[in-house]
Amino acid sequence: MEEIKDIIEKFRQKRNWDKFDSEANLAKSIVVESAELLEHFQWSENNFDKKAVSYEIADVLIYALTLCYHMNIDPKELIKEKLEDVAKRYPEK
């Protein structure tokens, strides 16, 4: 995860995009990119460009990870914690 964090942060810093980072702006960007992902399935669930969909997934992940880093949240620990919480509410069958 540290390697991904460094790649994302350096990429954004080189373009001076980090100056726009706020919790609200990053959350809005996640929603915008999620909508772009959903758009690929708007008229057909079975006929989509896998590469284009993959790129939209990457955009969502990049913004979500950037928000984690901005808020000093470890995404790996967050995911583990969330899955533990969900497991309590939805035990194995």
Cβ neighbours for 53, distance < 8 A, ≥ 6 positions apart: 37, 40
pLDDT digits (tens, 9 = 90+) for 61-83: 999 999 999 999 999 999 999 99
Q: Which fold has domain 2-89?
A: Helix Hairpins (1.10.287)
Structure tokens at 78: 């967050």
pLDDT digits (tens, 9 = 90+) for 11-60: 999 999 999 999 999 999 999 999 999 999 999 888 899 999 999 999 99
Residue extents of the structural domains in the chain: 2-89
